[in-house]
Amino acid sequence: MRDRLRKLRQLFNHQDRLLILIDADPDSIASALALKRLLWRRFSTCTISPIRAITRPQNQTMVRLLEIPLTPFDQINRADFNRFALVDSQPGHNPLFADFTFDVIIDHHPLLPQSRAPFLDVRAGYGSNSTIMTEYLRQAKIKPSMKLATALSYAIKTDTHNFERPTIEADIRAFHYLFRYARHPLLRRIEIAELTLEMLHYFQLGLNRQQRRRERIYCYVGRVPNPDILVILAEFFLRVIEITWSFVGGIYENRLIVIFRNDGIRKNAGHLAAKAFGHLGSAGGHASSARAEIPLENISHLPFPDDTLAWENFLISHIERG
């Protein structure tokens, strides 16, 4: 870590103007904040920019309560910067990233062949990218501020799904270290901020349209303003004690999105998603959670998306066959 930290800092000087790009979720937001703190006083300016709007209520609340400065990507002038960094992602993960030549890439996803940078630190075994960034802070002997520690703690919790997903000892050590510096009432406030007023309408739709088949709930809610609503509904249905599977579908932009959730007991949501919808679009995930995204052009035989019954039957028939 000492050598890595030295190499990272040696890349920058006081005249540099750094742009940190993220595909905003708690892990990438916290990682960007940590990188900015690590390089403090080694640049003239530093901007963190999410490449798309933040729509999930918890993420919006995190940014608001922790007063995290973010600049939308469409307000960025590339010519204003001479250094570029990418955290919690790699250039191959999004076409917008591929347009940049990065000086720094720090990520915990599997290394992609096209990922190249003067400073490249990719550790696929880590449960959270914020764990890597916490190790850098500790090596630099930087005590994280309350807001930074809270952001990193929340990121580690979310990316490891409260340590239920595959993690390593480093994730636990990092969380334990941050625990003393984080503001836990703030952390709790972020965690429970699941809903907006707009989402209540879709809860009403979901409760009215849900179909139960044995221990499964199926639901199609039509067009949605963002797919996070489908995730929240699927997780909500799984709280019902008699339910072990929930499937929630809806139309977002030009795709049918189906969210899979289960109780994790001898089940594989990713396998089921791939079998049910893999031939129509992208589908897969983890044992207890998965997602399918199907371009509407691939299912053009279906009637207008507001024909609820036809779309419900489509979801149910494909999942049951899977």
Domain boundary assignment for the chain: 2-192, 199-321
Measure Cα distances from 183 to 130, 150, 154, 188, 195 in Å. Answer: 17, 6, 10, 9, 22
pLDDT reading at 219 higher than 80: yes
Confidence bin at 286 (pLDDT 50/70/90) = confident
Confidence bin at 287 (pLDDT 50/70/90) = confident
Please indicate whether the domains covering 2-192 and 199-321 agree at the CATH topology level: no
pLDDT confidence of residue 197: 83
pLDDT reading at 195 higher than 90: no
Residues contacting 252, CB < 8 A, separation 6+: 223, 224, 226, 227, 230
pLDDT reading at 306 higher than 80: no
pLDDT confidence of residue 305: 74
Name the residue type at position 228.
D
Q: 294 — phi, psi (to 5°)?
A: -120, 120
Question: CA-CA-CA-CA torsion for 320, 285, 291, 231, nearest 10 degrees?
Answer: 110
Confidence bin at 41 (pLDDT 50/70/90) = confident
Name the residue type at position 148.
L
CATH of 199-321, one of 1.10.760.10, 2.30.110.10, 3.10.310.40, 3.90.1150.10: 3.10.310.40
Assign domain 2-192 to its CATH superfamily: inorganic pyrophosphatase (n-terminal core) (3.90.1640.10)
Measure Cα distances from 157 to 126, 171, 247, 256, 286 in Å. Answer: 13, 9, 24, 29, 17
Q: Does residue 88 contact residue 27 with C-beta atoms inside 8 Å? A: yes
Q: 163 — phi, psi (to 5°)?
A: 65, 20
Q: 140 — phi, psi (to 5°)?
A: -80, 0
Mean pLDDT of 152-171: 91
Model confidence pTM above 0.85: no
pLDDT confidence of residue 56: 86
- E-strand spans in the chain? 17-22, 45-50, 83-87, 104-107, 119-122, 211-213, 216-223, 245-252, 255-262, 282-285, 289-295
Q: 56 — phi, psi (to 5°)?
A: -70, 130
Name the residue type at position 233.
L
Measure Cα distances from 11 to 39, 60, 82, 85, 178 in Å. Answer: 10, 32, 12, 11, 27
Six-digit token string for 108: 């915990």
Mean pLDDT score across all residues of the chain: 94
SS3 211: strand
Q: Which residue has the higher pLDDT, 121 or 196?
A: 121
Side-chain-facing half-sphere of 286: CA atoms under 13 Å: 13
**Whole-number Å distance between alpha carbons of 322 and 319:** 5
**Whole-number Å distance between alpha carbons of 186 and 59:** 13
**Whole-number Å distance between alpha carbons of 90 and 241:** 40
Mean pLDDT of 133-151: 97
**Whole-number Å distance between alpha carbons of 17 and 47:** 8
Six-digit token string for 252: 């977002």
**Whole-number Å distance between alpha carbons of 322 and 245:** 14
CA 314 to chain centre: 28
Mean pLDDT of 85-98: 94
- Among the residue ranges 38-47, 70-79, 141-150, 190-199, the one predicted with the least confidence is 190-199
Mean pLDDT of 166-192: 94
pLDDT confidence of residue 27: 97
% the chain with pLDDT above 90? 84
